[in-house]
Amino acid sequence: MLRRTFLASSAAAAGFSANVARAEPATVSLWHVFNLDTDMIYGGMKAFNESQSAYRIEPRLVPGVQIVTELIRAIATGSVPDLVTLDSPVVASFSAQGTLTDLTDQVVQSKFIKPDVYFKGPWASGQWRGKTYGIPRDANTLGLYYNADMFRAKGMDPDKPPRTWSELKAAAQKLRDPAKNVYGFGFCATQAEEGVFQWLPFLWQAGGSVDKLDQPEAAAALQYVTDMVQQGLASKDVINQSQYEVTNTFMAGNIAMSQGGPWELPRMSKQAKFEWRLAPLPVKDDKQIKADCLGGYDFVVPKGAGQVEGAFRFIEFMSNPKILNEGWKSGRIGPRTDVMVQDPLWPQAYATYRGEMSYARPRGPHPQWPDISRPMQTAIQQALTGAKSPADALREAAAKVDPILAKTPL
């Protein structure tokens, strides 16, 4: 397979194939969610189509919130696409129910896709019972964005962002400015997967874990964020704001520090009219555990897809470190340890996120992750609204989560 750079003009597309196969290229249907036109998938598809003539990718852009629904419909009706990009925590739900094609053999024979090259977390998300059903496309994790200008204005050193929970709280207190409508800290706590994604780092940093939600560590983690809201350091609206809405508020200059992922970078660089920086997530003072939550998308091939071979070839193509390097332009981190972007955009942010990848933990993989996530979402909201104390809320959540984990451990 020839590799093409993204800058190859379309004029070069006319018949520059290394393969001399004269047959009509087979169509590989791809459903993806990436609407940012600088995403690596667009260049990738073009280069793939040009570099060989056996397969042609036919993409369909599905709205992000609809991709799971559409995939379910496809499975239900028996008309599945050949390739889908799925959010990593739900892959196990699909693979455990036998709705995805087993790719283990293809991986064994692959030149590029070697399990030990991948970060453990992303690779694990596509595994089920020792077989591979999903190949990570990209990865992301959370960092702490902060407004350096605001730091300076309050006499704080922007080169010394908060490193521990207590420092974070103190900084939030100092940076909070009701007169200017500025909150100290922002994070997402909606009744959705995002809310759990943003809270899990706190849980893990406190030494807690999903199978021990009724333990004091978990309660401490929930108490911390509850205090942030109840003491006015973070807005009560975090219950209702999705991650990017919180980031929007940060970019508008109404939050001093906010937890966010690398997908925000393309917008941040254009819309934030102040000096912004990224720090790694803080650690809990007495635990000093570095932990972060893993996100990202996996390529999956639904069961019954017509072009498994073609689909896998595209996955391989997109897993080439050269292509993955391009992913950073839209804020996507390569899920492989051998991908290190030279001279990246937003270098400080890249160094931070890339460094965090070594301790980013996946959610699951567990086939009933949505049923585990939901009680946690409820607990977070109960604590933040004051309906229940963090300990009680988590106890209730544990009562729902433990039976599921008893049947199938994490």
Partner 1 sequence: MMRSLRRRIGSRGMRILCSAIGITIVVCYLFPVYWMFASSVKTSAEIFANPPSIIPSHPTLAAFRQVFESENVVRYMRNSLAIAIPVTVVTLLLGASGSYALSRLRTRLIGVALVLALILQIFPDALLATPMFIMFRHVGLLNTFTGVVLATSAKSLAFALVILRPMYRQVPAEIEEASRVDGCGTWQTFWRIVLPIMRVPLIVVGVLSFVQAYGQFVYPLTLLSKQELQPATVGIYSFIGAEYADWDRVMAFASIFAIPVLILFLLLQRKIVAGLTAGALK
Partner 2 sequence: MLLYAFLAASMLYLLVFIGLPIVYNLVMSVQEVELGNISDLVRPFVGLENYREAWEDPSFRTVLLNSALFVGANVVAQVGIGLALALFFAQRFPGAHVLRGLLLASWVLPALVVGALWKWIFATDYGVANYVLTRLHLISGAIHWLSDPTVSLTAVTIANIWFGTPFAMILVAAGLTSIPEEQYEAASLDGAGPLARLLHITLPSLWPTLVAVACLVTIYTMRAFDLIFAMTQGGPLDSSNVLPLLSYQLSFQRFHFGVGAAVGSFSFIIVLAVAVLYVRTLRRESEG
Residue 67 or 220 with smaller CB distance to partner 1: 67
Q: Is 197 in the site for partner 2 (CB under 8 A)?
A: no
3-state helix, strand, coil in the chain (%, to 5): 50, 15, 35
Token output for 184? 């100290």
In angstroms, what is the minimal distance from the CB of 274 to partner 2? 17
Q: Is 4 in the site for partner 2 (CB under 8 A)?
A: no
Spell out the residues 6+ positions from residue 45 whose beta carbon is closer than 8 angstroms to its own. 30, 57, 59, 314
Q: Hey, which residues does 61 pair with through a beta bridge?
A: 32
Token output for 162? 């908060």
Stretch that binds partner 2, among 9-17, 202-210, 233-241, 338-346 (CB under 8 A): 233-241
If you search the block for the tokens 């567990």, which residue do you land on? 366
Q: Is 35 in the site for partner 2 (CB under 8 A)?
A: no
Longest pairwise C-alpha distance within the chain: 70
Residues 39-78 that bind partner 1 (CB under 8 A): 60-61, 63-67, 69-70, 72-73, 76-77
Q: Hey, which residues does 257 pair with through a beta bridge?
A: 146, 185
Residues 284-343 that bind partner 1 (CB under 8 A): 297
Q: Is 405 in the site for partner 2 (CB under 8 A)?
A: no
Q: How far is CA 287 from the centre of its chain?
A: 25
Q: Is 93 in the site for partner 2 (CB under 8 A)?
A: yes
If you search the block for the tokens 């988590």, which residue do you land on? 394
Q: Where are the alpha helices (DSSP H) in 295-342?
A: 308-318, 321-327
Residues 235-254 that bind partner 1 (CB under 8 A): 243-245, 247-249, 251-254
Per-residue CA distances from 130 to 214, 249, 291 (Å): 30, 43, 25
Q: Is 374 in the site for partner 2 (CB under 8 A)?
A: yes
Burial class (CB in 10 A: 0-12, 13-18, 19+), 401: buried
Of the candidate residues 5, 12, 60, 98, the single one contacting partner 2 (CB under 8 A): 98
Q: Is 133 in the site for partner 1 (CB under 8 A)?
A: no
Supply the DSSP string of 43-59, one letter for each residue: HHHHHHHHH-SSEEEEE
Q: How many angstroms separate the CA atoms of 50 and 83, rounded?
A: 19
- Of partner 1, partner 2, none, which one does residue 36 interact with (CB within 5 to 8 Å by kind)? partner 1
In angstroms, what is the minimal distance from the CB of 38 to partner 1? 11
> ω before 178 within 30° of 0 (cis)?
no
Residue 93 or 125 with smaller CB distance to partner 2: 93
- Of partner 1, partner 2, none, which one does residue 148 interact with (CB within 5 to 8 Å by kind)? none
Q: Which residues of the shown chain bind partner 1 in the complex (CB under 8 A)?
A: 33-37, 60-61, 63-67, 69-70, 72-73, 76-77, 79, 87, 181, 243-245, 247-249, 251-254, 261, 263-264, 267, 271-273, 297
Q: Which residues of the shown chain bind partner 2 in the complex (CB under 8 A)?
A: 68-69, 72, 75-78, 93-94, 97-99, 181, 183, 190-192, 235-241, 249, 252, 254, 370-371, 374, 378, 381-382, 384-385, 387
